Amino acid sequence: MDYTAAKTLLERHGQTQLLDYFGELDEKQRSQLLSDIEKIDFSVLSYIGGNSNKRRGKITPAPAVSAEEIQKNRGKYESAGIELLRQNKVAAVLLAGGQGSRLGFDGPKGMFDIGVTHPLSIFGQQMNNIFEVTKKTGEFFHLFIMTGAQNDEVTRKFFKDNSYFGYPEQKIHFYIQSVAPTCDFKGKIYLDTKSRVSFAPNGNGGWYSSLIDSGMGEIINKEGVEWINIYSVDNVLQRICDPAFIGATALSNCACGAKVVKKVAPEEKVGILCYEDGKPSIIEYYDADDEMKNQRDADGQLTYRYGVTLNYLFRVADLNAALDAKLPYHDAQKAIAHMDKGVRVTPKEPCGFKFETLVVDMVKFMNGCLGYEVVREREFAPIKNATGNDSVETARELLKLNGVKL
Ligand code: UTP
């Protein structure tokens, strides 16, 4: 794209501020900026104001297979799952492309050291959890790690320096997720530097399209992978490729499964599993109104009691069919470094929007979703914040409870 084409494009979208410093740039910087401008997806700006968050259908409660039922059927579920794992029909995707801004750690969240008397990274702890499964099955599944452009190199290096935590290197595959432009509250796209447009990871909803775009689909096809288990980096008790979960979902004929916990309180900050117009759906906590959060059944239990833990199993055939379904973007208010009157500023408070698609929005494109209730103390220890709720402290306590030496 040349300067004239870029100017015409930006005029059409009211974004000519991106060329403010063009006259000060050398040739290399100019071509960098023009190439960034060419990559901008302007359509994300139409999501400012939360138009993706509006309720689109009738919301009703969704059931889940309870922890007690799972316990009763564990043998049956586990052997079905182990069989699929032994046939290499299951792979996992670690979502590690986020920026972890709430934790305030300067590096990929997975590298955060949760150890007390010895070093133990979040990545390391999750790999230890994986070994519990591979010991049972005697097989190593393909593990895809989605990074963001900002943390890809350092994440790869960390795995390499740690000898992939003992996992076979040829079964670990890194890929980078796509990005979206950031903007101020008026919708003006930011420059990160005089010669670079400000882009941020476009949310965890893009995990499958980015996997396909990166060429990893070939591995999935070649190996005949039928199910993909995706999980977030921040839960240190994450059970990855849990055979019982895989077996229960496969036997249920649902196209996906979601590990859920019973919410501890109406206002707990977890997405809520429900039905929307009779189809499986997840409403994020910030989109659920008070009535929905507080509604109770006759026995006193919360009507919408199942919170998702960001551990899902998706059937590949259904993912392929849903690939063209365009997920909505959510506008998130964030502090974003940007150029301001010739100077690069790094605000501490939100100054504009980042745009993210969410994995929760994929669920409604699936033909059935099995809610699978797990025991919170055994499987849910998210690290979102440095202190307080869902923090390093609470996660350490839960790890100790599960016999992990810190
Ligand atoms: P969060 O929603 O907690 O976002 O991610 P975050 O960016 O890590 O943290 P904050 O909000 O800035 O504090 C949930 C999971 O989704 C992944 C994260 O790495 C985490 O595993 N994620 C999030 C991505 O892979 N890509 C993204 O663009 C966003």
Output the CA–CA distances (angstroms, integers) from residue 108 to 71, 234, 353, 398, in the order listed.
36, 11, 21, 22
Mean pLDDT of 262-269: 93
Residues with Cβ within 8 Å of 301's Cβ and at least 6 positions away in sequence, in order, are none
Ligand 1 binding pocket includes 101 (Cβ within 6 Å) = yes
What's the confidence (pLDDT) of residue 364? 86
Averaged pLDDT of the chain: 94
Q: Does ligand 1 come within 6 angstroms of the Cβ of 133?
A: no
Q: What is the pLDDT of residue 101?
A: 77
The predicted-structure confidence for 322-359, as pLDDT tens digits, reads as follows 887 788 898 989 999 999 999 999 998 999 999 999 99
Question: Is the CB of residue 319 less than 8 Å from the CB of residue 208?
Answer: yes
Q: How confident is the model at residue 399 (pLDDT cuts 50, 70, 90)?
A: very high
Residue-range domains of the chain with CATH = 40-401 (3.90.550.10)
What's the 302 CA to ligand 1 centre distance in angstroms? 27
Higher-scoring residue by pLDDT: 51, 75: 75
Amino acid at 42: F
Q: Say how far residue 25 (Cα) sits from the centre of its chain.
A: 37
Of 56 and 94, the one with more pLDDT = 94
Mutation test residue for ligand 1: of 44, 95, 103, 177, the one with most atoms within 8 Å of CB: 95
Q: What is the pLDDT of residues 65-118, one digit of tens each?
A: 999 999 999 999 999 999 999 999 999 999 999 878 788 888 999 999 999 999
- Protein residue whose Cα sits closest to atom 14 of ligand 1: 232
Confidence of residue 311 (pLDDT cuts 50, 70, 90): very high
Phi/psi region, residue 268 (left: phi>0; alpha: psi -120 to 50; beta: rest), is beta
Q: Could you tell me if the CB of 124 is within 6 A of ligand 1?
A: no
pLDDT attached to residue 36: 97
Return the residue whose CA atom lies nearest to atom 9 of ligand 1.
100
Q: How far is the CA of 136 from the centre of ligand 1 (A)?
A: 30
Please tell me the distance between residue 339's alpha carbon and the centre of ligand 1 in angstroms. 25
Say how far apart CA 406 and CA 403 lie, in whole Å. 9
For residues 365 and 260, the model is more confident at 260
Cβ–ligand 1 distance for 177 under 6 Å, the answer yes
Q: Give the pLDDT confidence score for residue 103 in this predicted structure.
A: 86
29, 195 in Cβ contact below 8 A? yes
Nearest CA to ligand 1 atom 4: 98
Question: Average pLDDT in the 273-284 region?
Answer: 91
CA distances from 116 to 100, 113, 235, 406 (A): 21, 8, 18, 5
pLDDT of residue 54: 58
Which numbered atom of ligand 1 lies nearest the CA of 233?
Answer: 21
Task: For residue 262, report the distance from its CA to the centre of ligand 1, in Å.
Answer: 22
Say what the pLDDT of residue 80 is.
98
Ligand 1 centroid–CA 11 distance in Å is 33
Above 70 in pLDDT, residue 28? yes
pLDDT for residue 55 is more than 60: no
Residue 284 burial (C-beta neighbours within 10 Å; 0-12, 13-18, 19+): middle
Q: How many CB atoms lie within 10 A of CB 76?
A: 13
Give yes or no for residue 95 CB within 6 A of ligand 1: yes
Distances (CA, A) of 386 to 112, 117, 333: 11, 19, 20
Q: What is the arithmetic mean of pLDDT over 370-393? A: 94
* Shortest-distance atom of ligand 1 to CA 103: 13
Q: For position 51, what pLDDT does the model report?
A: 56
**Are the beta carbons of 83 and 134 closer than 8 angstroms?**
no
Token duo for residue 337 = 């470094």
Ligand 1 mean position to 203 CA, how many Å? 7
State the distance from the centre of ligand 1 to the C-alpha of 391, rounded, in angstroms.
15
Q: How far apart are CA 231 and CA 210, in angstroms?
A: 16
- Res 52 pLDDT > 60: no
For 129-146, what is the mean pLDDT? Answer: 97
Mutate to test the pocket of ligand 1, among 232, 269, 309, 383 (most ligand atoms within 8 A of CB): 232
Higher pLDDT, 53 or 173: 173
100 CA to centre of ligand 1 in angstroms: 6
d(C-alpha 143, C-alpha 152), whole Å: 15
Tell whether ligand 1 has an atom less than 6 A from the beta carbon of residue 97: yes
When pLDDT is averaged across residues 137-154 and rounded to a whole number, the result is: 96
Q: Whose structure tokens read 């009211």? A: 14
Distance 211 CA to ligand 1 centre (A): 17
3-state secondary structure of 22: helix
| Residue owning the nearest CA to atom 25 of ligand 1 | 97
Taking alpha carbons only, the member of 109, 112, 110, 119 closest to residue 405 is: 119
Does the beta carbon of 204 sit less than 6 angstroms from any atom of ligand 1? yes
How far apart CA 205 and CA 95 sit, in angstroms, is 10
